Chains A and B, each alone.
Chain A
Amino acid sequence: MQFPAAPLPKGAAAGPERVQVVIAGAGLVGLTLAIDLTLQGVPAVVLEKRDAAGEGSRSICQAKRTLEIWDRLGAAAPMLEKGITWKTGRVFHRDRLLYSFDLLPESGHKMPAFINLQQFHVEAALIDRLYALGGAVRWCHELTGVDPHEKNVSIAVQTPAGSYRMDTDWLVDCEGARSLVRRALGLQFGGEVFADKFLICDVKMGHADFPSERWFWFEPPFHTGQTALLHRQADNVWRIDLQLSPEADPEIEREPARVTERIRRMLGHSDFSLEWVSVYVFQCRTLERYIHGRVVFAGDAAHQVSPFGARGGNGGVQDADNLAWKLVRAVDGRASPRLLDSYDAERRTAAYENILNSTRSTDFMSPKTKASRALRDEVLALAAEAPFARTLVNPGRLSVPAHLTDSPLNTPDRESWSTGQFAPGSPAFDAPIHSPAGKRWLLELLTGQFVLVLQPDQDEQLIPEQIPIDGERVTVLALGRDLEDEQDVLARRYNLLPGSAYLFRPDQHLVARWRHWSVRGVEEAARKALGQS
């Protein structure tokens, strides 16, 4: 999917173009943010130095929470149609199956546990959605200079037709690991770069006997002493990851004949063609802060993790989801500074969690000493016979949504709830419901604004349809009035007894809940969620 270079903006020669928000980078994260901002009435200028969606399949595992975000933005349907739905993983040691796992054992969710879809297909769907909303990407417009000020950012842009300047209230850097903005601001990543190298390749198979599952091997017979991963994508393309030694030469390992022989040994046949090959090293790193004045960092521009666990792209999309509703309120002056600051606090916490999980997976796959290798090998040996040891086997802990339970925007529980880990800060559970529009899903009703979902008391007479709060409004959804819980899934998942209520913020995270709700309680919690108290 290639695009012609966007023309110079009108009046570019007369002086800097004045805009509210510039997004640098039209990858997964930049496009997600651009769509969300557009839907909320703040169109952003999206700068992209390339003339096409990304090269190679790169991020392929799109997680449930990410799909829920894209569904809220109206972009998920073509991805679900094109992608490979899966939820089962199998872990092997040598030629023996150690165990399998099911990532979504319960029904009653609109979105699957995962789909596998090449990043360029995902980006194509996001581009279609952005353009359908009237937005656009400035293709072949490369950000070449950044000059931050107290209340705006001056930037320089180079295009094939010449250069121009912009003044923007906010610059969001979504340019990925090689971000120019980060370098221009002199910001350094902290964290770890691992010595081990991995060969990552996509192969198109003529025939394949593998199911649509994630298969991971420790020390497989076809790749002695290392790890291997096999995963199906759309178009009968398969992702294969092969661990290499730290001493491996990337140039030599990328040679097609060498890669082909490795894959032939793995598959046992030669009925395949190479689509894309790369060699990479693991990096688990993050900036210390994601907001620097009027410059905000998101996705790989802010943090990087190893690919085992699918936490890079999925974490970046959650960054965009978290940032959009706060940035909209910062642009139009509704937000207190604390609201945008919460993006930094919440997403850094999520990044640390992703980095922690990613680092642990990497350490398990690549023991560094004789003793740690002996321990890892004994875990694998024991796992074949003892179920308890399987919990220690770590072939990548797959992406799960961040539970923002320490967020300053939450109102802590005052009553007891039997909902396990689900608490203020958690993303909403989905549930099948029935609304006047027919069969729906709960998450389809949590769309970019504050929503209160409640189970009325029997004697509760007057339930407002909305609760206004300082230029905001909380939409009230009452069971029996606005939606029906015919399958009783909503009430069970939320322990929603009569009188109970849940308040969700615009990105579908829970901020407060009550056993006996009141308008005043909702107002106080919503103000806190807006950073006002």
Chain B
Amino acid sequence: MTGDKSPEFLAGLAPSLHEASRFEGPDAFYATLVKKLEAAGDDGALQFLCRLVLILANEVGHQDTLLAALGRAERKPQSSDNL
């Protein structure tokens, strides 16, 4: 069915996401993002992030990559007790 998880995805063969950075200017991007979130205020920030996700998701387009990204975002950060 269009828009649903592909058989490869269900079989655990989801595309692996990039672990290495692909940002051309990570510090500049992060600083700009923070500025825009702070300028938007708490409620405005939620709207801003929703809109940003939609725009970026359309740029990615590929269904399995999007689903893998949703799964990655859902994952809790690993414990840092050993640091």
Interface residues of A (CB under 8 A from B): 353, 356, 370-371, 374-375, 377-379, 381-382, 386, 388-389, 392
Within 8 A of A (CB), among B31-83: 46-47, 50-51, 53-55, 58
Bound: A353/B1 CA distance, A: 8
Interface of B is mostly: helix
Given known contacts A388-B58, A389-B54, A392-B54, is B46 in contact with A374 (CB within 8 Å)?
Answer: yes
Closest chain A CB from B44 CB (angstroms): 10
Q: Is the CB of B46 within 8 A of A379?
A: no
Q: How many A-B residue pairs have CB under 8 A?
A: 29
> What are 28 A-B residue pairs whose CB atoms fall within 8 Å in the complex?
A353-B1, A356-B1, A356-B4, A370-B46, A371-B46, A371-B50, A374-B46, A374-B47, A374-B50, A375-B50, A375-B53, A377-B47, A377-B50, A378-B47, A378-B50, A378-B51, A378-B54, A379-B54, A381-B51, A382-B51, A382-B54, A382-B55, A386-B55, A386-B58, A388-B58, A389-B54, A389-B58, A392-B54
Interface residues of B in 1-21 (CB under 8 A from A): 1, 4
Separation of A473 and B53 alpha carbons in the complex (Å): 57
Q: How far is the CA of A392 from the CA of B57 in the complex (A)?
A: 11
Q: Output the nearest chain A residue to B49 by Cβ-Cβ distance.
A: A374
Whole-angstrom distance from the CB of B5 to the nearest CB of chain A?
Answer: 12
Chain B nearest CB from A84 CB (Å) reads 29
Interface residues of B (CB under 8 A from A): 1, 4, 46-47, 50-51, 53-55, 58
Taking CB atoms, residues of chain A closer than 8 Å to B1 are: 353, 356
- Nearest B residue to A379 via CB reads B54
**Closest beta carbon of chain A to B10's beta carbon, Å:** 14
Distance of A486 Cα from B55 Cα, bound (Å): 47
- Tell me the bound Cα distance from A330 to B50 in angstroms: 54
- Cα separation A111 to B21 with both chains bound (whole Å): 55
The CA of A353 and the CA of B3, in the complex, are separated in Å by 12
CA–CA, A381 and B58, complex, Å: 15
Q: Which residues of A contact B55 (CB under 8 A)?
A: 382, 386
User: How many angstroms between the C-alpha atoms of A375 and B48 in the bound complex?
Assistant: 10
Q: A371 to B51: give the CA distance in the assembly, Å.
A: 12
Q: Quick one: closest A residue to B43, CB to CB?
A: A374
Give the distance to chain B from A195, nearest Cβ to Cβ, in Å: 23
* Residues of chain A contacted by B47 (CB below 8 angstroms): 374, 377-378
Instruction: Select the residue from B1, B50, B53 with max chain A CB neighbours within 10 A.
Output: B50
A377 to B47 alpha-carbon distance, docked (Å): 8
* Nearest-neighbor residue (CB-CB) of A375 within chain B: B50
Given the complex of chains A and B, what is the CA–CA distance between A379 and B47 in angstroms? Answer: 10
For the complex with contacts A378-B50, A378-B51, 6 further pairs of A-B residues with Cβ separation under 8 Å are A356-B4, A371-B46, A371-B50, A374-B50, A378-B47, A389-B54
- Which residues of chain A come closer than 8 Å to B53, judged between CB atoms? 375
Report chain A residues within 8 Å CB of B54.
375, 378-379, 382, 389, 392
Query: When chains A and B are docked, how far (Å) is the Cα of A374 from the Cα of B50?
Result: 7
List residues of chain B with CB within 8 A of the CB of A389: 54, 58
Q: Give me the 8 closest cross-chain CB pairs, A-B, nearest first.
A: A378-B50, A388-B58, A375-B50, A378-B51, A374-B46, A374-B50, A374-B47, A378-B47
Shortest Cβ distance from B51 into A: residue = A378
Residues of B within 8 A of A356 (CB): 1, 4
CB distance from A201 to the nearest CB of B (A): 33
- The distance in angstroms between the C-alpha atoms of A356 and B50, with both chains bound, is 24
Give, as a whole number of angstroms, the nearest-CB distance from A348 to chain B. 14
Q: Which residues of A contact B50 (CB under 8 A)?
A: 371, 374-375, 377-378
